[in-house]
Amino acid sequence: MKIVIDDKIPYIRGAFENIAEVLYLPGKQTTPEVVKDADALVTRTRTICNEKLLAGSTVKFIATATVGFDHIDTEYCAAKGIQWENAPGCNSKSVVQYIASTLMVLAERKQISLKDLTMGVIGVGNVGSKIARLGNLLGMKVLLNDPPRERAEGSAAFVSLKQIIEQSDIISLHVPLNMKGEDATFHLADELFFSTLNRKPILINSCRGEIVKTNAVKDAIKAGQIAAFVCDCWENEPNIDLELLALTELATPHIAGYSKDGKALGTQMSVQAMSKFFHLGFDNWQPIGVELPKNPVIEINGTRLNEHEIMAKAILATYDIRQDDAVFRNNTALFEQLRGDYPTRREFPAYTIKAKNISIETLEKLKEIGFSIDYSQENKE
């Protein structure tokens, strides 16, 4: 048995060596010649799994350690009997941390109160549903748009895209990339989208670059149709539009879902899927060696701090998007390297809040966001 694995997938080395020939390669070196005699691939979004790569190969199974699977030609795989699995939801909490940090930074920069704002969430799946919950915890009014879910569940919890456009102060995108069909999302944010915005909202794209039309968003920023653009996902990655980069409020190299927790879970789901498909006997495999945060205890004295300030201290202590923004702007030619060598970022559950003089209500919100709480010090309302 031969398995070809993207060498940037963490914690996977050693999982298959006892039962297979394992070849670790950069995604761009995963060629038709390499996979010709392979039984399986474990990959990321940079490897396009289509007829060009797979024709004439012995590949039976593809596991992608990512949520997105638009790099897999699913129709071709179905026609050739090649099974595949993605890792839905593996990075959802990482994206929540990314959006939480973004909101804290924007509130500071723009001198705005999040509790006074309405956030529209477009796409309410594994990630979007958690973003909506975050918005509620931060006191925002949250509007949900998800046509497939609305058709399946009814309209009670959802609003139209028109309502999102008309009523939102912040719009956060969390849809898959669908090129065609009733739920096509390619260039969802196009000239018409921007021309009909009502409140000059902040737009955040942390799903897929092709959801936002590059020229349209550049024109929208220049025309003042949006208050700011936060971009993690770009059209034509890694060859991004540098003019758009210069126009963004915050810019990162497609790392919103790149916490160590999210990567470890994506690897776990891929290995387990492979085990189940080939009946390898380690269906409960889990990664080891996930790095701990440098400072896992966050001490916060809430004296003279309001709830938002306490939340901001906690969230930004785990991840400050401004650091990634600065590194990216200084190294735009290193898009892939910045992703591949992304430093350790752990999610909220890896941290404990050592709290003093913080209300129980605020502590409970921090707990709901994901933090562990140390109640050992006296807390006062």
Cis status, amide bond into 238, omega within 30 of 0: yes
Picking from 369, 367, 349, 350, the residue whose alpha carbon sits closest to that of residue 359 is 367
Rounded CA separation 106/250 (Å): 9
* Phi, psi dihedral angles at 172 (to 5 degrees): -115, 125
Rounded CA separation 286/302 (Å): 38
208 is annotated as an active-site residue: yes
**Cβ-based neighbours of 132, under 8 Å, separated by 6 or more:** 119, 121, 124, 142, 144
Of 208, 339, 345, 346, which is the active-site residue? Answer: 208
Of 150, 237, 309, 336, which is the active-site residue? Answer: 237
46 is annotated as an active-site residue: no
CA dihedral 29, 32, 34, 36 (to 10 degrees): 160
Of 44, 71, 174, 254, which is the active-site residue? Answer: 254
Picking from 310, 293, 267, 308, the residue whose alpha carbon sits closest to that of residue 346 is 293
What element of type H or E holds 241?
Answer: none
187 is annotated as an active-site residue: no
Catalytic residue numbers, as ranges: 208, 237, 254
